[in-house]
Amino acid sequence: MKAKDVMTVDVVSVSTDHSVRHAARIMLNHRISGLPVIDDAGRVVGIITEGDLMRRSELGAQALAPVDRQFSTEENHAGAYVKSHSWKVADVMTSDPAKVDEETPLPRIAALMVERGIKRVPMMKEEHLVGIVSRTDLLRILITATFDATAPGDDAIRRSILTRLREDAGIKGGELDLTVADGLVHVSGAVSSQSERDAVRVVAEGVRGVKGVFDHLSLA
């Protein structure tokens, strides 16, 4: 799947000249935790999130951290003051946000979120904002995902498990004794770690037609 398959297209945004209070009100009204920031030319130049607003002077939040951790240099001190006191979105937002094309595969978007510790990524078509993908959009895939197609029958189930063990989990199925009867999987043999043991179970449970998995494995 690609970004365009799951992205939210009715994107709520703010401009660089909007007030922080305006941005906070939009987040509350729409029950979202972040907004793309658009400049006068319609380009995405930043993201403003709940996290950007957690050290606002109105909250007295600077006192939450010890003084020696708040500012490492005079420049950082001045910058922190601007972010905690300015009324303009442009001064408070996170600049130069990660952006991807609407054709970007979802695994790449998920990896980007993990790498940068972010919760949303604007989707672009050339220079235009066409949508946004959030962690919530990715979570929806989890509840709608279906098992991969597997031919019916115990033999097909066994072949599918062995193939996935080898290709997806990196476990040599030839070292395992795996039988399937009426959808019930029995697996025995030795694995080198608890992680491998868990992987065998998870692979088997993820195959369509499996009714139960019985673990008789031992740790080598």
Q: Running DSSP on this structure, what letter comes out for residue 37?
A: E
Question: Which residue type, as a one-letter code, is found at position 1?
Answer: M
Report residue 13's pLDDT band, with 50, 70 and 90 as the boundaries.
very high
User: Does residue 29 have a pLDDT over 90?
Assistant: yes
Rg of the chain taking only CA atoms, in angstroms: 25
Task: Tell me if 106 sits within 8 A of 144, measured CB to CB.
Answer: no
Q: What is the mean pLDDT of residues 133-152?
A: 80
User: Does residue 92 have a pLDDT over 50?
Assistant: yes
User: Does residue 206 have a pLDDT over 80?
Assistant: yes
172: Cβ–Cβ under 8 A, 6 or more apart, which residues?
165, 166
**Which tokens belong to 150?**
């597997």
Instruction: Give per-residue pLDDT as tens, 46-91.
Output: 999 998 898 888 887 554 444 444 445 555 778 888 888 899 999 9
- Distance, CA of 3 to CA of 133 (rounded, Å): 7
Position 63 scores a pLDDT of: 45
User: Does residue 142 have a pLDDT over 60?
Assistant: yes
Calculate the alpha carbon distances from 159 to 12, 86, 188, 199 in Å.
48, 62, 16, 16
Report residue 143's pLDDT band, with 50, 70 and 90 as the boundaries.
confident
Q: What is the mean pLDDT of residues 159-177?
A: 87
Average of per-residue pLDDT values in the chain: 87
Position 71 scores a pLDDT of: 47
Task: Tell me if 38 sits within 8 A of 45, measured CB to CB.
Answer: yes
Task: Tell me if 101 sits within 8 A of 3, measured CB to CB.
Answer: yes
- Distance, CA of 191 to CA of 172 (rounded, Å): 10
Instruction: Give per-residue pLDDT as tens, 170-203.
Output: 887 677 999 999 999 999 999 989 999 999 999 9
Task: Tell me if 13 sits within 8 A of 84, measured CB to CB.
Answer: no
User: Does residue 33 have a pLDDT over 70?
Assistant: yes
Altogether, the residues listed in the chain come to a count of 220
**Which tokens belong to 172?**
């040599």
C-alpha of 87 from chain center: 31
List domains and CATH numbers for the chain: 3-144 (3.10.580.10), 154-219 (3.30.1340.30)
Task: Using CA atoms of 42, 43, 45, 47 in order, give the dihedral in degrees to the nearest 10.
Answer: 70
